[in-house]
Amino acid sequence: MSELADVTESLFRSLGEIRAIGILRGCPPEHVVAVTRAAVEAGFKVVEVTLDSPGALQSIELLTDSFPDLTIGVGTVRTGEEVAWAIQAGASFVVSPVVEEQVIGACGKHKIPVLPGAATPTEVFRALCLGAEAVKLFPAVQLGGPAYVAAIRGPLGNPRLVPTGGISAENGRAFLDAGAVAVGVGGSVFTRDALARGDAGQVGSQATAFVRSIT
């Protein structure tokens, strides 16, 4: 097994029973520790800070310092330069909205797992051929939901797929049952309004409900 494959295995082992990546989009640095603590207390072990959030790199640094046992990644990455910035800030995995050769190559160079965003079987296969160890299937609900995940896995050799986009307490378990290795959950748990206000109570309540729904 290659070093990158081993690191990727470690990432998915770190999810444990809670096979969900919490996506923090739009959370300002002054609130990121409080809302993340609420998610961790609910059971989340892996979170992703999207690069289009205010002060995203600062937030990653804060989370790395505050939660040494939490696996912290960066999302919405579109260039190799952004990969380098995120790694320097402390991110341990990278998520992209697209299949971008430069991003996948940079992650391979740094031996860091990357989840490129793909919608079609062709895009998923291309991401795997370029070296991705797992693929973010996006936008999951609009593509067809759990049935779509189940339909494409077999012909593609059962790759690690992480459906993202529209994941909620109502459908998260179904995506996992369809063969997803994990799900990426954002707005249904980490609402933009709650993140902007730093409402850890609301995040904690929604995170707890989501965790209960998938375990």
Interhelix angle 101-109/80-89, rounded to 10 degrees, is 40
Query: Residue 156 class from Cβ within 10 Å (0-12 exposed, 13-18 middle, 19+ buried)?
Result: middle
**Active site residues per annotation:** 48, 136
Residue 164 DSSP one-character state:
B
168: helix, strand or coil: coil
Rounded distance between C-alpha atoms, residue 152 and residue 126, angstroms:
14
CA distances in angstroms from 178 to 33, 152, 153, listed in the order given:
33, 10, 9
